[in-house]
Each structure stands twice: as structure tokens, then as C-alpha cells.
Structure 1
């Protein structure tokens, strides 16, 4: 909705119409208000888009300053470098990170973007900019989420000239923070089996680059950032945060210039990037979401979680609770057959599992990771009657059926590769590198896209499959596309991901009851782009329950626990040989979407009974865990003896506390835990799911009591866990 009129009328309307776009009487100042946030920018006297304000919500009637370009401070930097522009082309003497860089056929690389027009459709503001001399048009999109105040930005770049141009750098936009030198950047980095470590560094003059050059999101950096004032912590203080929705190569650059202006620019990774834009063609950048809060890092996470649950996920705004899952991989590896899977399914049903998933090894000549990828037909030796007998048995046991696929990859030892060796990413005459004995299919090719969709569509059409575990187990190498002219080959970085998204969208339309998990050797493809098309994600191949506490702590900085698949696996851990009780392993996994990946044929009757009890408990609390507000009470930092999390349902009627003791030192008691997020006036009844509370802990007390007096748990030894539910009376 647009309001054009006096400031008083516009601001009065803003208080009651969250998510609407408001434009002042001049038509040159744009204001977006939602939840506790105001975002404002305008057209300055030079025709540029200039940032005005982004922060806690302003009151009705508060004036916004006119966007007037500040004068240059010296002759060295030039005026353009001191203007806080929303979106810049590389030109006019710009020295900081541009949003858009283009090369024209005549060699010109100067691009200066000025405002042309704007329009509003629903709650989306579109602002059109154009180069001062050439017909390169950029349409910027702005949308603010009514529930969280998180702003979505993206850009559409159009070539309206008669000749091709090459886009060498393209971002969704630049976020600008108030000038200053009191900021700290938080980001996530890691590796295979060690994803989502939390790192912090001061924001100082220069540039910090977070990126992936791997063809996919990667696990070395998450496409997420948070920048806090230096006095902010988990529960208090100002934090700006954001995440890219893109599953290919990406970059987020955090830059402080010589005037202490902070800029965060994000979009396609410019490394080896060169998208040829034909006459009349357009290029859509990824969406870049960002928000601000005065409630510290914890509230920043909860806002992003709420956006994911209500706007990003395929089933938003009311995503289905994730079913308790069993996956056969750690029990059988590639040794998959009908009888063995049926035996596992019998045991999984006994403990309350709702979804049974057959992992790798069911197709083609797949007896190891050296053969069969690409040949998506059922192995007749392992399943002589196809998948139907197994699926029927799984259904008879009261579970739905899922299966593992890795459709973007191919083994050299496969019928597909022997028939189509040209279908992989490759550079003519150069070696074709293997990773995990496989190569990457060039999904940018229309014939490859058609094959992948056709194979999956056939599999789903011929079998009653409710779930795909969609894996992706290597990064790109030799990212060539010899089938197209040399000046178009770098389009592969965009077209591959667009076709991936297209396949997922088409499968979901044709098979609306099928759910999908994004897996990539663990957490190698987790971002808001893939989350929009998949129902859950796999954070790490490391299922050690203690390691997972740290991995999950980092994961929830950026992503909701509702999509975080967490398996209970065997002890000692295959990752590091560490032994832990079954109860500890369950409580670690119950903080997300619960799964079981252990070899159930080796479990004792006592193990089965424990699992049955805890799975039943989980089902009673999972809506709160998966769709509630997460409070990280004690972070499992390396060297810490304790960690604790709390989930609170959106209506504050229920809460769940998970507390862990990793090792006892010198007999110190477990610290008192002070809950957060409860209704202080309500009364909550305590229900212990696992562990022991201190003597004289009340059975019923107010929310104020549990938040201020706190609760004491009793744990001694190593790798102990406690879980407590709180229910409003």
C-alpha cells in the first residue's frame, strides 16, 4: 500500500499497517515500518538512492531528514565515496565494494546508476535505476516482513541495449550501518564434521569477505552475518543481522571505509564470474534478508527463525511438525536388501518411529561409492520385486517411506556417464577431477535438467515415497560448459542453481505430499534459498552427541531448530570413539528434528524401552521445540562444562529446558538456570522428562519465579543430561 501525503498522515498510518510502504509527499523518501523496525531511504539531490535510517522503529510523526548528498571531504576520495548509497554501479571513481560491475562490448566499464521511477505492488516496493547514458536498467525490490521487521532486498538487471553485456559482479544490495568504530562481526565457519563454529572479530578499516567458491553454499562459511555493538551480548544490545538466499557461489563483504561507514554487500561471488546478458535479457540476483534488534544475539536469532518458519519454508506459515525418522545408513551402509531393511523397519516401528528411510545403496550397481551414481533404477539383486514389498511393509507398520538420492552427481562407472560423458562440468582437454569417486553433472544444461527431473519424477510416480533425502557430496572443479560459446560458459554459476531450484519446484508441484531434506556431506548446502524448497536440512555428518551441541549452537544462530535434523547414533561414536549414555544422545538430538540412525539390531531390550519412552516424550514437546522461540541459556563453548537451551511455544503456554553436564570438575554444583521468555503472571507446572531436580524444587510456580529464582538440576559425572517441561496451568 502507498500513502502519499503529509508526514503526519503517513506516520499515523504506519503504526497500524505493518509491512506497508510509505512515501512522502515529494515522492523521494521511502519508509518501511514493521514490528519494531523502521527502514528508510530516498533519492538525493544527485539522483542517487541514499540510505537515511535503519534501526529500531521510529514513532509516528518523527521527521526523516531529506536525503542530501554530503560534500566530499578531500580530493583524494571524491564525493561518490562518502555518499551512503543503497545500490552502486562501479564507476564515477567509486573505490569501495560496488553492487554492480558491467563490461560493455566496446570495453567501457563505467556504470553510474540514477533513480528513474518507483512502483508498489502489494507490499513490494520496486525502484528503477538506470545508467546515466546506456540502457542498463536495475530494478531494486524492497519488502519488509510484518512479523519480524526483516527486510528482503533483491535486484533485477536488464540489458535493454542491442548488444550483449557481461555482468562481472552483482549483489542484491548494500546495507549501511550508522558510522562508528564500536562494532563486532559474528559469522559461522567450519569444515566437514565441524560445521558452524562461531567466530567474532572487530569491524575495522578494510574488508572482511565471507564466501563460497565451491559451486554451492559450502560449509566453510555460512551466508549469514551478525554485527553487534560492542556492548551487546546474547540478551541485550543492538544487533544487525542478515542472510543470503542462494545455494551457489556467493559473497558477503563487510567493509568499513575511511570515514567509518559500515557497508554489508551480498550476492553472487564475483570470483570467476561473468554472466553474459543478451539483448533484452535480465538477471535476478539472490534475495538478501536483514534485520535489526535491540534484544541481543538471542533475539536476532529468534527473529530470523520466525521469518524462516512463517515466510521461507515450503509449508510456511504453518510448517508441519517434522516426523521422527529412522535412517538405515549407519546400520547397513551399502549392504542394503529387502530382508535387512524390513528387519530394521520392524524395530524402528517398535520405538515409535514415524518415517523409515532407506539410504545409499538401493539403485544401479551401487555396492560402494565407486559405481552407480546417475542410474536411478532399483537394483534387482537387492530388491528382486522392486521397492513395493518394502514400502508396503513400512506402511503396514504405521510409518511412511523415504529414500536417499544424489541426483546432481555421477560416477564414471555408471551407465549414465558411459552414455553421456559430456554431461559433467569439465574444461576441454583438461583432467576431470574426482571427489568421492564422482563428478558433478552440469545441471545448467537443459538435457541434464530434463534427465534429472525425469528420473526423480519416475521414481516418485511409481512408488509411494513420502520423503527424499537429497544429498550432494562434492564441490565443483573444472566448472566449464563446452557445449556453449566461450563467452557464455561462466553463466553456469547461475544457470545451474536456477535449474536446481526449478527441478525442486516442479517436483513439489507434481508430488505435493513429498517432503525433501537438503543434505550435502552434512551442512554443505544450508541457506535460505534451498530452505524455501526443502522441508529440513542435515547440519553435519558428525552425529557425536557432544560435538552436535556445539554444531547445533552455531546452526541456530542462523537457522530455526525446526529444520535441524539430529540423529541418535551408536556409542562409542564412529566419529571419535567417545562413549555416552543413550539418554544423553537422545536429549542432544531432541533439541531439533529427532531422528535415529543407530543399528537397532544391536540394541538391548532396555535400549529399546528407553528409546520408546523418550520418543514418546519428544512427540509431546516437539511442536514447542520445532516451532517455538529458542533461548540459548548457556552456550557449549569449547572448554565449557555446561550448556543449556530453552524452547518456549509462541503462546508461552509451554516450555522445554535441556541442560547438559559435559564433565564434572572439583565437585562444583550445576549453576542455577534462569529461564527466559515465559509469561511472568502465568503459573507453570514442572514435568521432568529425564534427570533429577534439586530437592524442594516446587511443582508449580509463576513464570516470574522460574525466570528470576531459577531452577536447579542435579547432575554429576561426565556426559549427563536433563530435560524438563513446563506447562501453563
Structure 2
């Protein structure tokens, strides 16, 4: 990065001796109806620190003579995090007048492309009810705001960065704070342009004044450059955040075991249906049985519904005992922070709910429920009691925490929440999930805690408090694969669950989970469907042959526990789409395309000769070497290959 005497900056790739952006104002204020961009440099300093393995700190100050606002930009270059710079900007109003501030903007870059078709792809880390793909092609006319707060009543939060890439360039920007912040990361390519603009901005309620003599400090933000696709940008970000104090969970062996979920029977399931399916679950080699939504009195009232469990809570314990008697582990569905308006919980404790600025409730649409205030002492006590009920009294071995509402909350105006300011409620939300995670492991040290935020781009700050990530209601096999690549960039050793195979293309695409190293799962019904279910997930004889094949293969390979090499293939530009998992000296390649007839390149080979084998269909394909690592193949939909030394 180079900085001019007006505090304009430019990104360059020194290894390629190439400018990546043009010189411009990348950190500035919006005041009144204009940008405050130009500041005449008055001082430059360089210091060093031993923090995070050592860094150089560049401090450059300047002043805008017209407004008498000073600007100091602090840029930190960490030795252990090459090609990444963090930035924090301080503005001081040195005039004798208050100045209206609309927003601050950091890391504002415009990147050009010479590519006519699909100039860029982008990772977009925000969440909304659209449940859109997390990575998208960026073509003329593209715009996404990427607000990290609530974008719909119960959708918000995410991963606070944007990554823009093509085969020539990759740039990542985001904030580097240790908790969620209400910023936006707008991404735009105008209709008749071939350049994309990105930035980080925090907007203020207007008018907000920077008083004479007062200081405005931005969040700590970052920019990094990389080769390859967004996986490499996300990896750099997560390594920095973990160095700063974010502690990702250690892998839990039980979390890699395959899963059957009773959701195929849906809310009107019966206990007899669940128990009757367990022998078939065991026969297929599946290790987990999950009881889903429908056991409870109401959201918030988590004891059993006696219309379904006539003997009350003791019957739930009997069900768990039966699951254990089959040699299976038991996981229970739960929607923490949700409470129905008519629940006993809210009748007895109406002030537990989250309050908006007008004292209205915040709605959770799927369950017609209200948000509870996660910082409220009664919410915390209630949550602790429920975790004890589920894992101690009922003896479940894990929790499937479910709902898009878990990803973020609106600013919380509940006066009993003990917050210094309403936005602190969203910043402290990860502490709520930390509470659950720690209590669960106090009761059961090997508890599997799944966070399933229903189609959202999961909040990075909730990730430390789960030990099983999930594709979370994917709308396609493509989403299963791209979400797997995303989680494995951020949490390399995570147990990533591909969700029910019935949610994949054609309802039977095990290969998409298998090829990205995902845990296999299913929600089949057997020997018949629940008559009130919305669809059929019956395990027919034909399906059973396929299900047995894939679950047996999963047990043999256990690729979900191995090293995912997401750095070697570009998910957007390499064709066919390719994923690679390394298990010892054997490389497992997964290729995906509607139809393919041509060459593929087997990257990542060490020196030597190799055998290429289609391990799904048990056939040897070719012999290759690291010097001749391309071969012609034909397939439809997918082919999974293992390549091992001769």
C-alpha cells in the first residue's frame, strides 16, 4: 500500500509489481451532502510492536483545512499475516463548530477487470430472508448492501467481510473487531462499467454531530490480497481473528458420525414412529438419531406436549433410553431465544422479551414467536434450566439449535437487560451461545452442539460456540458444496454436516456432501410416512440400496475428518468444479458438472507415480505422475476419484 500527501491510498501486489487499484480516498467521512476526502499530511511515524508475533505500525496524520478536521490513520502490518493490513482511523473536530456526520467509510476500493464475461465473483457475508448463495458472479448492474444488522424481522448478521476475485486478483475487506458490529459492506458494479467498488461503512442516524473538540474513531478494519478464490481470503481473515483471541472449538469425534433426523415425520410425528425407525437407522450404520420440532408445549415452554407424550417428561427419558439401547446417540432440536406470545414463559415473565425502540416485540416469523432478550438475567436462567433439562434429566447427547433468528438480534431496548446502549445487545449475542456451549460440556463433555441458522450466512462470532456446522437448509447441492468450502476456510477442523440428503438435488445427492468432506445425514421415514407430513421421504427398497452404499462408503473413508485443500481449485473459474481432500498420501478429488468430457488437472501431487481410481464404482482409471497430472474423463453430475502412490 502506498499513501499520498492527501492521505489517498493505492493497493499494489509487490510480488507481481502490479497496481491493484488506482490512487484514491479509501478512508473518508460523509458530511452534509459531500465526502470529506482530502487531508494534507502533517506527520508520518513508524513504530514496532511484539503483539501477535510482531508488526510494524504506520501512523500518518493530516488535516482538512476547510473544515479543520484532522485525520490520523493507523496501519498495522503483522509479520505472521502477510499480505494483510489492518486500519483504524481517528478524526478530531478542531474547529469551533459542530459538524454533521452521516457516515464513515474505510477500505473503499475500485478494482478493474479486463474480463468481458463474469469480470468478478464475490463472497457476500450478509444474511437475509432471500437465503441467497454466499458467493455470486459480479457482472454489470450488480449491487448488494451487505448490512451486518437485521435485514428482515429475523434475518441478520453474518461474516463481516467481502471478498472479490477473479483468476488475476483477489481482495478481501472486512472489520477485525472481536464481536458483531452494525456496519455495511456494499458491493457494486454499475451497469455500463467493468469495475467493481467495495467499501466498509457505518451510517449514523442523521443528523449526528461531531462536536467541536470531539473525536470519532472508526472500527478496526482490514484489507488483504490473495491468489485463488475466496477460500484463501477467508482463511487469512480467520487466522488473524484467531490470533486476536477468537478461539474456534476443538473437533469432537462424535460430531463426525452420520445422522438420521426424525424431521421426515415433521411436527406431527409420534414417538412410535421414531422408535419404529431406529432399527433401520442402526442397520444403515448411522450413529445419531435426532428428535426434531414438535415435542414441546410451545416455543419457550420446552417441556413435552402430553398430547404426544401422555406420561409427560418421563416418557421423553424413555425415548432417549430406547435410542441408547439401539446403540445410537440422541440429539434434540431446540429454538433458543424463541418464545410464543401465548407461552406460559411470557405470561409469567413478559419483560423477558427483546424490546425495540418503540417497545414493540421483535418477531420470529417461522414459529410466530417473539425474541427473548439474550442479556436479560431471566433469559439466562431460563436457558440454563432448559439445557439441564435436555442433557441431564432427559439424557440427550447433543443439541440441534435451530432458527435463522439465532444469527443476530435487533438493538435491544429492554431496560432490564443491563446494556450500556441498545446495540450492545447484538454485540453480546455470542456470549449467550457461549453460555449454552459451556454448560452443555459441563454436563456432557462430549456433547455435540449444532448451530443451524436456517439458510443464513452464519455469524462468524457464534462459530466458536458449536462443534458441528451445517449447510442449514440448502436450496441446492451447489449450496452444500460452497457452504462446506466456506466453513472449512474459517474453521479448518470443523465437523461440517451436509444436512438431510433429501434437501440436495434430486433428494439423493450424497456425492456433494461426500466430495467436500461433509458428514452425511438423512431424514428418511420407514416403514411408512406420517400421514400429516407435507412430503414423502419414504425409504423405498430402491433408495435403501443407495443409502446403504453411501453410508457404508462414508464409514470406510471418513473424509469429513481429513484435510480439505480448498486453496488448490477456484470454485468459480476452474471447470469442472473441483474439490480436494487429502488423507495421508492419498488425494481424493471430487469433480462436478452437469456433463463433462475432457481433461481434468490433478493438482497437489507430490513427486512420483500414482494410481487413479473411481472409488464409488470400484474401477481403476489410469496411472499418472506429478509430471503428467492431466487425464481425460467423462461423467455426468459427478465423479469421485482417489489418487494414491503406485
Taking structure 2 as the reference length, the TM-score comes to 0.71
Give the structure 1 partner of residue 624 of structure 2: 701
Structure 2 equivalent of residue 527 of structure 1: 459
SS of the residue corresponding to residue 671 of structure 1 reads: strand
CA separation of 1:309/1:426 partners in 2, compared to 1, >3 Å: closer, same or farther? closer
Q: Give the paired residue count.
A: 588
Q: 1:460 to 1:568 in 2, by over 3 A?
A: closer
What are the Cα deviations for residues 657-692 of structure 1, in whole angstroms up to 9, with x where unaligned?
A: 243537xxxxxxx32241342225233323323358
Change (3 A) 1:509 1:566: closer
Residue in structure 1 matched with residue 302 of structure 2 by the alignment: 376
Paired residues of 2:471 and 2:484 also in contact (CA < 8 A):
no
Q: Look up the match of 1:465.
A: 396
Tell me whether 1:724 sits opposite 2:637 in the alignment. Answer: no
Tell me, yes or no, if the aligned pair for 1:355 and 1:401 is still in contact at 8 Å. Answer: yes
RCO comparison, higher one (Cα < 8 Å, 6+):
2
- Aligned partner (choices 551, 559, 572) of residue 479 of structure 2: 551
Equivalents in 1 of 2:207, 2:456: separation in Å?
21
Aligned-partner Cα distance in 2 for 1:567–1:141: 42
In the other structure, the counterpart of 2:227 is: 294
How has the CA–CA distance of structure 1 residues 262 and 607 changed in structure 2, closer, same or farther, with 3 Å as cutoff? closer
Counterparts of 1:194-233 in structure 2, within 5 Å, are: 194-196=132-134, 198-201=136-139, 209-214=145-150, 218=155, 223-228=160-165, 232-233=166-167
In 1: Cα distance, 2:436 partner to 2:54 partner: 25
Instruction: Confirm whether residue 690 of structure 1 aligns to residue 621 of structure 2.
Output: no
SS at 2:578 equivalent: strand
Q: Which of 283, 286, 295 is matched with 1:350 structurally?
A: 283
Q: Compute the displacement of 1:336 (Å).
A: 4.3
Decide whether aligned partners of structure 1 residues 550 and 457 sit closer, same or farther in structure 2, where only a CA change above 3 A counts: same
CA, structure 1 residues 242+677, in 2 after alignment: closer, same or farther (shift >3 Å)?
farther
- Which residue matches 2:95? none
1:484 to 1:393, Cα distance in 2 relative to 1, 3 A: closer
Aligned Cα RMSD in Å? 5.5
Give the structure with the higher percent strand.
Answer: 2
Residue pairs, 1:422-571, within 5 angstroms = 422-427=351-356, 428=358, 430=360, 435-436=365-366, 437-474=368-405, 481-483=413-415, 490-504=422-436, 506-507=438-439, 510=442, 512-520=445-453, 522-542=454-474, 548-555=476-483, 558-560=486-488, 564-570=496-502
Query: Any conservation in 1 of the 2:25–2:37 contact (CA below 8 Å)?
Result: no
- Give the Cα–Cα distance (whole angstroms) in 1 for the partners of residues 449 and 171 of structure 2: 31
Structure 2 match to 1:314? 248
Q: Given the superposition, is the C-alpha separation of residues 336 and 240 from structure 1 closer, same or farther in structure 2, using an over 3 Å criterion?
A: same
Among 589, 592, 616, the alignment partner of 2:552 is: 616
Whole-angstrom CA distance in 2 between matches of 1:290 and 1:114? 21
Q: 1:347 to 1:404 in 2, by over 3 A?
A: same
Residue 343 (structure 2) aligns with: 414
Q: C-alpha distance in 1, partners of 2:241/2:602?
A: 22
Deviations 1:501-528 (A, max 9, x none): 54356436635432322222x2225132
Name the CA distance, whole Å, in 2 between partners of 1:126 and 1:423. Answer: 47
CA distance in 2, matches of 1:679, 1:622: 21
- Per-residue CA distance 1:147-168 (angstroms, 9 max, x = gap): x7474858799x9xxxxxxx99
State the 1:420 CA deviation. 1.8
Provide closer, same or farther for how the CA distance between residues 421 and 462 of structure 1 changes in structure 2, counting only shifts above 3 A.
Answer: same
Distance in 1 (CA, whole Å) between partners of 2:203 and 2:278 is 44
Residues 440 and 569 of structure 1: is their aligned pair in 2 closer, same or farther, counting only changes over 3 Å? Answer: same
Between the aligned partners of 2:467 and 2:62, the Cα distance in structure 1 is 41
Name the SS of the counterpart of 1:599 in structure 2: coil
* 1:652 Cα deviation after fit: 5.7
Deviation per residue, 1:528-553 (Å, 9 max, x gap) = 222232233333424xxxx5232235
Establish whether residue 595 from structure 1 lines up as the match of residue 535 from structure 2: no
Task: Quickly say closer, same or farther: Cα 1:269–1:686, change in 2 above 3 A.
Answer: farther
Kept in 2, the 8 Å contact 1:305–1:559? The answer is: no
Does the 8 A contact of 2:260 with 2:286 survive in 1? no
Partner residue of 1:646 out of 544, 556, 579: 579
CA shift at 1:128, angstroms?
11
CA apart distance, 1:467: 2.3
- Return the alpha-carbon distance in structure 2 between the equivalents of residues 319 and 306 of structure 1: 21
Pair 273,403 (structure 1): closer, same or farther in 2 beyond 3 Å: farther
Deviation at 1:650, TM superposition (A): 7.6
* TM-fit CA distance, 1:251: 1.5
Identify which range, 464-473 or 191-200, moves more after superposition: 191-200
Say whether residues 1:712 and 2:629 are aligned partners.
no
Q: How far apart, CA to CA, are the structure 1 residues paired with 2:426 and 2:610?
A: 52
Q: Distance in 2 between matches of 1:240 and 1:595?
A: 35
Give the C-alpha shift of residue 297 in structure 1: 5.3
Matching of residues 268-287 of structure 1 within 5 Å? none
TM-score (norm. length: structure 1): 0.64
Q: What CA distance in whole angstroms lies between the structure 2 residues aligned with 1:509 and 1:137?
A: 47
1:118-170: CA deviations, max 9, x gaps?
753342659799999xxx99997958584x7474858799x9xxxxxxx9999
SS in 1 for 2:605: coil
**Matched residues in 1 for 2:451 and 2:232: separation?**
26
Shift of 1:439: 1.2
What is the alpha-carbon distance in structure 2 between the residues aligned to residue 329 and residue 466 of structure 1?
A: 16
Distance change in 2, residues 1:509/1:328 (3 Å): closer
- The answer to whether the 8 Å contact 1:120/1:126 transfers is no
**Contact kept? 1:426, 1:432, Cα under 8 Å:** yes
- Structure 1: gaps (5+ residues): 1-39, 60-69, 71-80, 99-111, 160-166, 275-281, 366-371, 663-669
Go from structure 1 to structure 2 and tell me whether the alpha carbon gap of 1:208 and 1:646 turns closer, same or farther (over 3 Å shift). closer
Q: 1:459 to 1:83 in 2, by over 3 A?
A: same
